[in-house]
């Protein structure tokens, strides 16, 4: 076999990722086709729980086609927990998601018409040690650290509960493959066996000095039969009322093995809980996390190197690094993946028909590509060349046949599909539209409110992997009007490019703003205070810049921009209307503070115009008209005009021109499109 960490930027959240869970998804385009296991596992959803109490649901894909369509919304941040989320568990047959926080709160989420909502809530006030769905998805096993265990139905009805009197805590709980018994592991190395009705069957001591960290079977998490149809391929799927949905799962020809991991790093492979001669794996790691793949033939064990191993290395002490070791059903070591991760791996999960292994370490998420068969020479060459290249665009610089270049490019196609902005190229991310049709959902927070720096400051965050990524910053520059200046954290301008704009008119009857998060965020550039923004430059050497288009219809827009002289006189704007001219910020401030655009407004705050300040942006970025009726008898109406910003060549000069004079101060009707 072969395993390698996926190439590309490291995926990070704004807090530590504490748990992972993955489920498959059938594409909408193949709804009418018979369910195929390969097709079902090509796409899926990854659930993450972090230290800020937010659950992230993120779209993933393992196919190598860049033109493959994706859902319109590819990331959800689910808020509701009051403490850190420590467990996330998918229920694939019923398409539900169970999440548990550190205070004992349990939420069961369900998606309906593209929105996630809480279906069930359970809060006993005690810490949850484990939450496990039965293999048919109809029952849930909840175990608490204080010895209380509960089994309930998928709809929230309690079947039975029991109080286990122990001197130690319960650390984990699982179902047997036939869902007729439940097993509990304790912190003093014991295993407690109960039947599906709550009767005590056995109490066995597996290890005298080591506690049980986790237990699992090399068996599919959900076992259902094949079907010729799929009712769960769309995002608007509603679970059936009379039974679970059907998913194809590989048939297991081997007897299931019970895997028990201990605090010492050892792992026991047992035929059953009363096996007297188990196979013991000496992993040599600490803080181990183990999980079988779906097909049950490969065990992944992740952990940190021990100090004894590091002491044998020459050239002095070295930093500890995380490792992933793979074993077969006989406990034989097959492969070791050395990572550069310096933090412990908190959680791992398999996905995409066992071709991906997802690992969480601190705030970072790593994707490991796994090849179960003997790796081919072509695959080894692909990984070796991709390791030396920095980006996908460097592949075209190689003198290779087109077919090999295409194969080499597949190494850079990410599994996690939401576009995470590159910190070194933030300007391109916020300025250009994405290649697909996906929607990017953001959250805005007020980060500063200091009158000495020129007004309140706001930060726009992109929702990603259950966290928030800062992408834009804005500051109010006027005390009378709602006027703002927008900036980005980094600069990567290219003056030799022209950006075209095509007018897009959208009429929105109601404006739904995203809820602001209740978490505090800190980033390097948001904490820095910008200096005061001068309204006008008193120096006669600074040119004045006008953004009004010339009236001559024979002169194209691109030629107007190139031929415009800063010494041309400016047209005086009408009194009371939002100014169409750029505020005369000194050029040093525009470059230093990375100003992108300015939002101007009339005195009533009902008409706004967005003016480009950066050299690569078009001067007119759009306008917004907000209308209300007398006594608010009619619904409020908002009209948004946004030109699309695109990178184009210098030869393309026939560009549509956005007319800034489409609005007047006294207009009552919407302008004709």
The C-alpha atoms of residue 477 and residue 479 are separated, in whole angstroms, by 7
pLDDT reported for residue 660: 45
pLDDT reported for residue 135: 92
Longest CA–CA separation in the chain, Å:
94
pLDDT reported for residue 482: 86
pLDDT reported for residue 647: 66
Structure tokens at 370: 């796994």
Question: Each residue of 307-319: pLDDT tens digit?
Answer: 644 444 455 455 5
Q: What is the helix (H) or strand (E) element at residue 88, kind and residue range? A: strand 85-91
pLDDT reported for residue 648: 53
pLDDT reported for residue 267: 94
460 burial (CB, 10 Å; 0-12 / 13-18 / 19+) is middle
Tell me the residue length of the chain. 673
Question: Each residue of 392-411: pLDDT tens digit?
Answer: 888 888 888 888 888 888 88
Annotate 491-525 with three-state secondary structure. Answer: CCCCCCCEEEEEEEEEEECCCCCCCCCCCCCCCCC
Cβ-proximal residues to 222 (8 Å cutoff; 6+ apart), any chain: 91, 92, 93, 133, 135, 136, 137, 247, 249
CA atoms within 13 A on the CB side of 79: 11
User: What's the whole-model pTM score?
Assistant: 0.76
Q: 190 with 204: CB under 8 angstroms?
A: yes
pLDDT reported for residue 547: 32
The C-alpha atoms of residue 523 and residue 473 are separated, in whole angstroms, by 11
Tracing tokens 């998606």 back to the chain, one arrives at 111
Mean pLDDT of the chain: 75
Tell me: pLDDT of 528 over 80.
Answer: no
The C-alpha atoms of residue 392 and residue 411 are separated, in whole angstroms, by 9
Beta pairing, strands 356-361 & 200-205: unpaired
Tell me: pLDDT of 339 over 90.
Answer: no
Question: Each residue of 255-274: pLDDT tens digit?
Answer: 789 999 999 999 999 999 98
Considering only 74-88, 470-484, 556-570, 653-667, which range has the smallest mean pLDDT? 556-570
Q: What is the helix (H) or strand (E) element at residue 643, kind and residue range? A: strand 637-648
Greatest mean pLDDT among 128-142, 157-171, 209-223: 128-142
Q: 537 with 586: CB under 8 angstroms?
A: yes
3-state secondary structure of 376: coil
pLDDT reported for residue 236: 37
pLDDT reported for residue 526: 33
Residue 141 CB: number of other CB atoms within 10 A?
22
The C-alpha atoms of residue 24 and residue 45 are separated, in whole angstroms, by 6
pLDDT reported for residue 615: 80
Asked whether the CA dihedral 291, 345, 7, 77 is positive or negative, the reply is positive
3-state secondary structure of 660: helix
Q: 301 with 325: CB under 8 angstroms?
A: yes
Cβ-proximal residues to 582 (8 Å cutoff; 6+ apart), any chain: 545, 546, 547, 598, 611, 613, 619
Question: What strands, in cross-sheet order, belong to the sheet with 266-270?
Answer: 212-217, 258-262, 266-270, 279-282
The C-alpha atoms of residue 278 and residue 478 are separated, in whole angstroms, by 74
312 burial (CB, 10 Å; 0-12 / 13-18 / 19+) is exposed
Q: 53 with 85: CB under 8 angstroms?
A: yes
Tell me the Cα Rg of the chain.
Answer: 29
CA atoms within 13 A on the CB side of 9: 12
The C-alpha atoms of residue 287 and residue 672 are separated, in whole angstroms, by 65
Q: 128 with 169: CB under 8 angstroms?
A: no
Residue 313 CB: number of other CB atoms within 10 A?
10
Helix (DSSP H) and strand (DSSP E) numbers for the chain: 7, 38
Percentages (nearest 5) of helix, strand, coil residues in the chain: 10, 40, 50
The C-alpha atoms of residue 28 and residue 531 are separated, in whole angstroms, by 51
Give mean pLDDT, residues 123-148. Answer: 93
The C-alpha atoms of residue 332 and residue 343 are separated, in whole angstroms, by 26
The C-alpha atoms of residue 623 and residue 482 are separated, in whole angstroms, by 14
Greatest mean pLDDT among 25-34, 63-72, 458-467, 521-530: 458-467
Distance of CA 371 to the CA centre of its chain: 25
């Amino acid at each position: 076999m072969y395993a390698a960490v996926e190439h590309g930027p490291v995926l990070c959240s704004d807090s530590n990722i504490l748990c992972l869970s993955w489920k498959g998804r059938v594409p909408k385009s193949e709804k009418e086709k018979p369910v195929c296991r390969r097709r079902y596992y090509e796409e899926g959803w990854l659930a993450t729980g972090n230290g800020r109490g937010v659950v992230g649901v993120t779209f993933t894909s393992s196919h190598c086609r860049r033109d493959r369509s994706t859902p319109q919304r590819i990331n959800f941040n689910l808020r509701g927990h009051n403490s850190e989320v420590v467990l996330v568990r998918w229920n694939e047959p019923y398409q539900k998601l169970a999440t548990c926080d550190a205070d004992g709160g349990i939420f069961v989420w369900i998606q309906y018409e593209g929105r996630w909502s809480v279906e069930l809530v359970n809060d006993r006030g005690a810490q949850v040690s484990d939450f496990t769905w039965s293999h048919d998805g109809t029952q849930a096993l909840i175990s608490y650290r204080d010895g209380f265990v509960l089994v309930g139905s998928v709809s929230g009805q309690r079947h039975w509960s029991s109080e286990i009197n122990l001197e130690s805590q319960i650390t984990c709980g699982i179902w047997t493959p036939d869902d007729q018994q439940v097993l509990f592991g304790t912190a003093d190395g014991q295993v407690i066996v109960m039947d599906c009705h709550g009767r005590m069957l056995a109490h066995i001591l597996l290890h005298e000095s080591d506690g049980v960290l986790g237990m699992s079977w090399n068996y599919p998490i959900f076992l259902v039969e094949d079907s010729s149809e799929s009712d769960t391929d769309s995002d608007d799927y509603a679970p059936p009322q009379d039974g679970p949905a059907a998913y194809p799962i590989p048939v297991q020809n081997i007897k299931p093995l019970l895997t028990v991991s201990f605090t010492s790093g050892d792992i026991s492979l047992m035929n059953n809980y009363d096996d007297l001669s188990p196979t013991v794996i000496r992993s040599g790691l600490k803080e181990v996390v183990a999980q079988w793949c779906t097909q049950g033939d490969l065990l992944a064990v992740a952990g940190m190197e021990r100090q004894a191993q590091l002491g044998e290395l020459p050239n002095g002490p070295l930093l500890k690094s995380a490792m992933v070791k793979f074993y077969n059903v006989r406990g034989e070591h097959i492969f070791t993946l050395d990572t550069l991760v310096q933090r412990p791996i908190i959680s791992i999960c398999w996905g995409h028909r066992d071709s991906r292994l997802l690992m969480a370490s601190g705030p970072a998420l790593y994707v490991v590509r796994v090849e179960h068969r003997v790796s081919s020479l072509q695959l080894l060459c692909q990984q070796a060349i991709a390791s030396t290249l920095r980006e996908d665009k460097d592949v075209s610089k190689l003198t290779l046949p087109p077919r090999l270049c295409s194969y080499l490019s597949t190494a850079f196609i990410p599994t996690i599909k939401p576009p995470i902005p590159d910190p070194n190229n933030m300007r391109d991310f916020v300025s250009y539209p994405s290649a697909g049709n996906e929607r990017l959902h953001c959250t805005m927070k007020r980060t500063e409110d200091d009158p000495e720096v020129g007004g309140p400051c706001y930060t726009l965050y992109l929702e990603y992997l259950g966290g928030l990524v800062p992408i834009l910053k804005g500051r109010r520059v006027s005390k009378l009007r709602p006027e703002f200046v927008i900036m980005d954290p980094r600069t990567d301008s290219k003056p030799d490019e022209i950006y075209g704009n095509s007018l897009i008119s959208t009429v929105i009857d109601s404006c739904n703003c995203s809820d602001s998060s209740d978490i505090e965020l800190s980033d390097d550039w948001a904490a820095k205070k910008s200096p005061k923004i001068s309204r006008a430059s008193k120096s006669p050497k600074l040119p004045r810049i006008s953004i009004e288009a010339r009236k001559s219809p024979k002169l194209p827009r691109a030629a107007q921009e190139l031929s415009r002289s800063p010494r041309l006189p400016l047209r005086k704007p009408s009194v009371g209307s939002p100014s169409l001219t750029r505020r005369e910020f000194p050029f040093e401030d525009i470059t230093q503070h990375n100003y992108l655009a300015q939002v101007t407004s009339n005195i009533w705050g009902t008409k706004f115009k967005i003016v480009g300040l950066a050299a690569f942006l078009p001067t007119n970025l759009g306008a917004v008209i907000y209308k209300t009726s007398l006594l608010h008898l009619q619904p409020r109406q908002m009209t948004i005009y946004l030109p699309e910003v695109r990178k184009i060549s210098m030869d393309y000069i026939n560009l549509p021109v956005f007319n800034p004079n489409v609005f007047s101060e006294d207009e009552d009707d919407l302008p004709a499109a």
